A = this chain, B = another copy of it.
Amino acid sequence: MKIQNVVVGAGFAGACIARRIAEEKNESVLVIDKKMHIAGHAYDEYNEHGVLIHKYGPHIFHTNNKLVWNWLSRFTEWNNYQHRVLSYVDGFYVPMPISIETINSLYNLNLSTFELESWLDERRLKDLLIKNSEDVVLSKLGRDLFEKFFKNYTFKQWNLDANQLDASVISRIPVRHNRDTRYFSDRYQGLPTLGYTKLLSKILEHKNIHLLLNTEWSNIKPDLSYGKLFYTGSIDEYFDYSLGNLGYRSVKFEYETFFDREYFQKVGTVNYPNDYDFTRITEYKWLTGQKILQTTIAREFSSSEGEPFYTVPNASNQILYKEYTKMIPNNVFFIGRLAEYKYYNMDQIVERVLFLDI
C-alpha cells in the first residue's frame, strides 16, 4: 500500500502533524495508533457513572501562544477553566504553586508581597551550585519548604530522591511573587468544551487523513511503503530497545465515585506530598464543568510498571536517547514527548508541530 505520509500515534503530536500535512500539502496521511482510541493520553471518556474523566490523568490546556490557541480554536470552543491546586501539608490545604498565600497560611504570617522576597531571601541557600532538583528548591525556597512540599512528593513521584534528579525536573514549578493562586498564569486557559477526544477527532477529520487503530506500528511496517514517517511513540521501542531501555514513569489510577455529595474537594487537584501513598487527587467535574449530581475522583499512584507517562530526565537517559537519535533514518521524524524523550505540555507540542518543517 503506497502512502505519502505515515504518522504513528494519534495523540496531540500526531493529530496536529497529520492535519497540517493533509491541509497544507494536500497529501494523504495514514495515522496509526496501537490503541482502540485516538487522543493518546489526552483521551477523555464518560465513565460508567456518566462522569467525564481523563483516562490518563488530568489535562489542563494553557498557553501564552496566541498562534497555538487560535489554531486549536478552529476545532473547538473552550470552557475557560482555570486550574487551582491545593497541597495538603501539616493538616492545612494551602495553594500551589507556593505563593504568599501558601506561606502566610502555613506559618501563620501576614506578609505583604513586598515582604515575601526578603522572607524567602533569609531562608534560601545562596551561592549553591545547582546540580539537581533538590538544589533548585533549596536555592529558591530553603530547606523547610523543600521538606514540606518537595522532598517526599518527589520520592513518591519518581522513586528517586530530589538530589538524584536533574534540575530541569523541578524548575518548571514556579514560585509566585504575587497574590495569583491559579496553578497556571498563562493568558489562555481552558478545556475543550466537548472534551479532548472530540477536539482531536475534529483535527483528524479531513479527507486526506485515514486513521488506523488497534494496530502496532511494528506489525504493519513491513506491508507499507511511504514517503515520510512521523513517529510520536517511544524512541527506544521504535528501535526495538536495541541500545537498551530508556527510563519512564507510569501512573496507576484509583477511581472513586460519590453519589451523596456534589463535590469531593474544594479544587480540581489536591496534592498530598507527605501523607498517603498517592501523589494527588483530581476531581474531574472541576475541570470539565460538568453539571451532574455524582462526582468521580482519581487518586494517582506513580509507578515504574505500566505504559510510559513521563520521561525520567537524568544524565544516563539523556546519553542513551542521544545514541538512539543517531540511528534515525532520513525520512523519519521523531516528534513528541516519548519520541524526543522530553517533557512537553500540550501547548508546547502543538507549537512544536506548527513550526515543524513538514
Contacts and interface: CB of A to CB of B under 8 A. Distances in A.
B211 A210 contact: no
Given A36-B204, A50-B290, A50-B291, 5 more contacts: A1-B224, A2-B223, A36-B205, A210-B212, A211-B212
Interface string A272-313: 000000000000000000111110000000000000000000
Contact of A46 (B46, B211, B215): B46
Nearest to A194: B48
Contacts of A52: 46, 50
A208 to B, nearest CB: 9
A302 to B, nearest CB: 27
22 contacts: A1-B220, A1-B223, A2-B223, A36-B205, A37-B201, A46-B52, A50-B291, A50-B292, A204-B214, A205-B214, A209-B214, A210-B212, A210-B213, A210-B214, A210-B220, A211-B213, A211-B214, A211-B215, A212-B212, A291-B292, A291-B294, A293-B293
Contacts of A220: 1, 210
A48 B210 contact: no
Contacts of A292: 50, 291-293
Interface of A: 1-2, 36-37, 46, 48, 50, 52, 193-194, 201, 204-206, 209-215, 220, 223-224, 290-294
A201 B213 CA distance: 11
Contact of A50 (B37, B50, B204): B50
A190 B158 CA distance: 46
A255 B332 CA distance: 46
Nearest to A294: B291
Contacts of A193: 48
A209 B209 CA distance: 20
A160 B305 CA distance: 63
Nearest to A35: B205
Contacts of A211: 36, 212-215
What are the 9 tightest A-B residue pairs by CB atom distance, in nearest-first order? A1-B1, A1-B223, A211-B213, A210-B215, A212-B212, A36-B205, A211-B214, A46-B46, A50-B290
A43 to B, nearest CB: 12
Contacts of A37: 201
A294 B194 CA distance: 17
A201 B36 contact: yes
A294 B291 CA distance: 9
A2 B213 CA distance: 17
Nearest to A198: B45
A152 to B, nearest CB: 37
A219 to B, nearest CB: 8
Nearest to A213: B211
Nearest to A46: B46
Contacts of A223: 1-2
A296 to B, nearest CB: 13
Contacts of A215: 210-211
